[in-house]
Chain A
Amino acid sequence: RKEVEQDPGPFNVPEGATVAFNCTYSNSASQSFFWYRQDCRKEPKLLMSVYSSGNEDGRFTAQLNRASQYISLLIRDSKLSDSATYLCVALGGNQAGTALIFGKGTTLSVSS
């Protein structure tokens, strides 16, 4: 079974902290990877795409290691508004090859 596994969490950090989430995927054929953010009882929203060796967007940095089938998300200078569940997602791996495979998510709580 093609799966995406994430740190179970929850992560409880103070404002200003740096926090890292880890994720592994089982299907070596997966081509694209994403981090989505999901607030309580809301739909997932795309946070970052991770296409090659990684990329950075402001306080957020995503890294991809294809050899180890490992993805990470680093959040620097955490804000209260960063509190949410972060979903690690791989494209492909099911019978279609086009649908997203979601991890169960890691919950982040940032406190003042």
Chain B
Amino acid sequence: DGGITQSPKYLFRKEGQNVTLSCEQNLNHDAMYWYRQDPGQGLRLIYYSQIVNDFQKGDIAEGYSVSREKKESFPLTVTSAQKNPTAFYLCASSPTGWGEQFFGPGTRLTVL
């Protein structure tokens, strides 16, 4: 089955620890994105990548880092510099980057 997978579904982290969220797609999409959703808020863009080995900051990139070494994979690292990391993290992909985006099931991160 083609699709976007994210792991883990739930993640708990202690303050001061870095954590990496996985995002994989087998749709052969060029563009991939990371969003964050807080309760009662719209999705906000963290990072995006339109092509392998290239990525750009979104609106709220501080405290996050990404890599795009393979077309299929776009992992997100939440660093200790992110002051309020507890949120629902959503990865998305798009065939070209100029149309619909399709989302993975999300990772719910809680900082203890």
Chain A residues close to B by CB (< 8 Å): 4, 31-32, 34, 41-46, 49, 87, 91, 94-96, 98-100, 102-105
User: Which residues of chain B come closer than 8 Å to A43, judged between CB atoms?
Assistant: 90, 103-106
A98 and B42 contact, CB distance less than 8 A = no
B residues 28-71 in Cβ contact with A at 8 Å: 31, 33, 35, 40-45, 48, 50, 56, 58-59
Contact A4 B42 (CB under 8 A): yes
Neighbouring A residues of B1 by C-beta, 8 Å: none
Query: What residues of B have a CB within 8 angstroms of the CB of A31 in the complex?
Result: 98
Which of A94, A95, A100 makes the CB contact (< 8 A) with B101?
A100
Residue of B nearest to A45 (CB): B103
Q: Which 3 A-B pairs have the closest CB atoms?
A: A102-B42, A43-B103, A102-B43
Q: Are B58 and A42 interface neighbours, CB within 8 A?
A: no
Contact with A along B73-88 (1 / 0, CB 8 A): 0000000000000001
The answer to whether B48 touches A46 (Cβ under 8 A) is no
A90 to chain B, nearest CB (A): 11
Is there an interface contact between B90 and A99, defined as CB atoms closer than 8 Å?
A: no
Which of chain B's residues 94-112 have a Cβ closer than 8 Å to chain A?
A: 94, 97-106, 108
**Interface pair B105/A98, CB less than 8 Å apart:** no
Could you say which residues of chain B place their CB within 8 Å of the CB of A91? 98-99
Residues of A within 8 A of B90 (CB): 43-44
Measured between beta carbons, the chain B residues less than 8 angstroms from A4 are: 42
How far is A78 from B108 in the complex, measured between Cα atoms in Å?
A: 31
Contact B43 A44 (CB under 8 A): yes
In angstroms, Cα B43 to Cα A48, docked, is 18
